[in-house]
């Protein structure tokens, strides 16, 4: 679910993108043009309030070079996820906010840039309580740091644990493994990784096929009644 957009610098009399290689009075902090970390911080100042106002969380923000222009990637999410319409709405709001910020305060991104807004993929690590909460019911692989866990099971080395997320609160997560259920404070866990379950994908596909067949049968019944 990615809504891609492209924004350019305001054009000059010739209709070409305006040069951005000279100092601008509104460039905050005096950061050099190549300082992507400073630009990322400035972008976050502009983008995060817009995403929050739309009812979503800003999960990640990156800026990189792609030839002569920059690519600004924005990852957003919410409880219940975000659909394509939501991605498109956020993309338009962020683009408008960047345009307004540049008109008011100078360059945010030097030269042309491409804006990409998307939802997190299943490969994104679970690092915050809300990430775990949004993946309740899914199978997750995570590293339990050495010295963590119940006393009789503690070891000095890190260990890998695979379990299903049963509950996720502000301080800890409950995982169900082959050994049973256990609570783990987030402080003792590394980033979690959602595991793809092909058996579940097959079940979903069968359910969807069954729903399609039911719909066809219903339509046939209606045609028979009309006759």
Structure tokens given for 176: 């169900």
Residue 209 lies in a domain: no
Interstrand relation of 2-7 and 57-66 (parallel, antiparallel or unpaired): unpaired
pLDDT digits (tens, 9 = 90+) for 46-76: 999 999 999 999 999 998 888 888 899 999 9
Tokens 């890998």 appear where?
160
CA distance 53 to 76: 12
Are 107 and 6 members of one domain?
A: yes
pLDDT digits (tens, 9 = 90+) for 128-153: 999 999 999 999 999 998 765 555 55
The predicted model scores a pTM of: 0.65
Number of domain units in the chain: 2
- CATH value at residue 66: 3.30.300.70
Are 107 and 133 members of one domain?
A: no
- Residue 177 pairs in a beta bridge with 180
All residues at 6 or more sequence positions from 145 whose CB lies less than 8 Å from its CB, including other chains: 158, 188, 189, 190
Domain boundary among 63, 91, 118: 118
Domain boundary among 68, 88, 118: 118
The pLDDT of 202-213, averaged and rounded, is: 50
Provide the residue range defining the domain that includes 41: 2-118
Q: How far is CA 150 from CA 5, 144, 183, 188, in A?
A: 50, 12, 10, 12
All residues at 6 or more sequence positions from 19 whose CB lies less than 8 Å from its CB, including other chains: none
Are 92 and 164 members of one domain?
A: no
Residue 177 lies in a domain: yes
Residue 202 lies in a domain: no
Domain boundary among 88, 118, 148: 118
Residue 163 lies in a domain: yes
Are 166 and 140 members of one domain?
A: yes
Q: pLDDT class for 159, splitting at 50, 70, 90?
A: very high
Are 68 and 10 members of one domain?
A: yes
* Count of C-beta atoms within a 10 Å radius of residue 76: 26
Residue 205 lies in a domain: no
Are 106 and 144 members of one domain?
A: no
- CATH value at residue 167: 2.30.30
Winning range, highest mean pLDDT, from 1-15, 89-103, 152-166? 89-103
Give the pLDDT of residue 213.
40
Interstrand relation of 113-118 and 139-144 (parallel, antiparallel or unpaired): unpaired
Are 134 and 114 members of one domain?
A: no
Are 85 and 16 members of one domain?
A: yes
């Amino acid at each position: 679910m990615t809504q891609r957009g492209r924004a350019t610098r305001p054009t000059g009399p010739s209709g070409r993108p305006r040069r951005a290689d000279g100092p601008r009075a509104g460039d905050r902090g005096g950061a050099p043009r190549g300082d992507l970390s400073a630009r990322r911080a400035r972008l976050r100042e502009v983008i995060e309030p817009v995403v929050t106002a739309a009812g979503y969380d800003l999960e990640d923000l990156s800026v990189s070079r792609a030839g002569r222009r920059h690519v600004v990637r924005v990852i957003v999410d919410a409880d219940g996820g975000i659909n394509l319409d939501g991605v498109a709405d956020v993309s338009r709001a962020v683009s408008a906010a960047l345009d307004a910020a540049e008109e008011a305060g100078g360059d945010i991104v030097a030269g042309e840039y491409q804006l990409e807004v998307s939802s997190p993929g299943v490969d994104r690590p679970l690092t915050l309580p809300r990430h775990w909460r949004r993946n309740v019911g899914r199978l997750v692989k995570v590293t339990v740091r050495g010295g963590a866990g119940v006393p009789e099971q503690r070891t000095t080395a890190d260990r890998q644990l695979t379990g299903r997320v049963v509950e996720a609160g502000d301080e800890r997560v409950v995982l169900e493994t082959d050994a049973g259920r256990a609570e783990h404070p987030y402080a003792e866990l590394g980033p979690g990784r959602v595991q793809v379950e092909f058996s579940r994908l097959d079940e979903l596909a069968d359910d969807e096929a069954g729903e399609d067949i039911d719909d066809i049968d219903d339509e046939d019944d209606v045609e028979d009644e009309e006759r």
